[in-house]
């Protein structure tokens, strides 16, 4: 199966970061967070990188955080320190190049919060979006309570955050949760079109940190 996160940069300067735990629907664990941090730092420090594409292998973009790791840190302090020292989501928001998310299947929890840090979010028609961790008593831990109401109308954000209920692409597109939608068979073509449009642009705005 290889590394749980894959990384490559093509000749155009497009970096592709692939979540690669398809057997767990790309549930994000600490090893994946560490690799995401490493690859994002590499993108930040490489002047040849012009855009970054995030995608997921298998049936889903990501089903969220790997709950089997919840509570396994040596202490709450250690857990918070690890998040502070490797703030993946803050690093994403600080990057000066455009970020694109290729979304399909399930985009739940952190699997929704990661794309919320992207500039362009392209989804397959049958994609589902939710923050189901709230039904287990957890607060979205990847910045979703901040990025979501900055991205979609406050009422829609409250609905997603408070209920944990999934929504489909029709509502997601209407709210601005995603920016483009395509049939599943045409998703790669739609993503490539978005990337090409970004590369043709004259600048990539720098976005503020949360």
Torsion over CA: 167, 24, 5, 210 (sign): positive
The pLDDT assigned to 77 comes to: 42
| pLDDT score for 47 | 93
The pLDDT of residue 70 is above 60: no
Question: What pLDDT does 171 receive?
Answer: 97
Please indicate whether residue 62 or residue 208 has the higher confidence score (pLDDT): 62
pLDDT number for residue 86 = 61
d(CA 144, CA 170): 20
**pLDDT above 70 for 34:** yes
Distances (CA, A) of 179 to 23, 53, 154, 170: 28, 15, 17, 11
- For the cut 90, the answer to whether the pLDDT of residue 21 exceeds it is yes
Return the pLDDT at 98: 96
113 catalytic per annotation: yes
**CATH number belonging to domain 5-200:** 3.90.226.10
**pLDDT above 70 coverage of the chain, percent:** 87
* For range 137-165, the mean pLDDT: 90
pLDDT band at 201 (very low <50, low <70, confident <90, very high): confident
pLDDT at 207: 42
Give the per-residue pLDDT at 17: 99
pTM of the model: 0.89
Active site residue 125: no
122/192 Cα distance (integer angstroms): 10
Q: Select which of 133, 171, 192, 197 is catalytic.
A: 133
Residue 208 has pLDDT above 70, yes or no: no
Buried b / exposed e over 83-99, threshold 16 CB at 10 Å, is beebbbbebbbbbebbb
pLDDT confidence tier of residue 142, bands split at 50, 70 and 90: confident
Reported confidence tier of residue 137, pLDDT bands at 50, 70, 90: confident
Residue 84 has a pLDDT of: 45
* 41, 113, 165, 171: the active-site residue: 113
Q: CA distances (Å), 57 to each of 4, 89, 106, 107, in order?
A: 10, 20, 12, 13
Q: What HEC string does the chain produce? A: CCCCEEEEECCCCEEEEEECCHHHCCCECHHHHHHHHHHHHHHHCCCCCCEEEEEECCCCCECCECHHHCCCCCCHHHHHHHHHHCCHHHHHHHCCCCEEEEECCEEECHHHHHHHCCCEEEEECCCEEECHHHHHCCCCCCCHHHHHHHHCCHHHHHHHHHHCCCECHHHHHHHCCCCEEECHHHHHHHHHHHHHHHHHCCCCCCCCCC
pLDDT in tens, 71-120: 555 544 445 545 544 689 999 999 999 999 999 999 999 999 999 999 99
Q: Residue 143 has which token pair?
A: 């910045």
């Amino acid at each position: 199966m290889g590394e749980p996160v894959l990384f490559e940069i093509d000749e155009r300067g497009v970096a592709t970061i692939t979540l690669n735990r398809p057997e767990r629907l790309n549930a994000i664990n600490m090893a994946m967070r560490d690799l995401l941090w490493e690859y994002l730092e590499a993108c930040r420090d490489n002047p040849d990188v012009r855009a970054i594409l995030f995608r997921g292998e298998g049936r889903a973009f990501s089903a969220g955080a790997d709950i089997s790791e919840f509570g396994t840190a040596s202490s709450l302090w250690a857990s918070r320190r690890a998040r502070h020292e490797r703030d993946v989501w803050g690093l994403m928001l600080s990057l000066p190049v455009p970020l694109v998310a290729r979304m399909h299947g399930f985009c739940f929890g952190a699997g929704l919060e990661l794309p919320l840090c992207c500039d362009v979010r392209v989804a397959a028609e049958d994609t589902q979006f939710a923050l189901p961790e709230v039904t287990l008593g957890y607060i979205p831990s990847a910045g979703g309570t901040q990025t979501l109401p900055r991205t979609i109308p406050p009422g829609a954000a409250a609905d997603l955050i408070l209920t944990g209920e999934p929504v489909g692409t029709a509502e997601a597109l209407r709210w601005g949760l995603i920016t483009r939608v395509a049939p599943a068979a045409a998703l790669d073509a739609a993503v490539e079109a978005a990337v090409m449009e970004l590369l043709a642009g004259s600048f990539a705005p720098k976005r503020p940190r949360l």
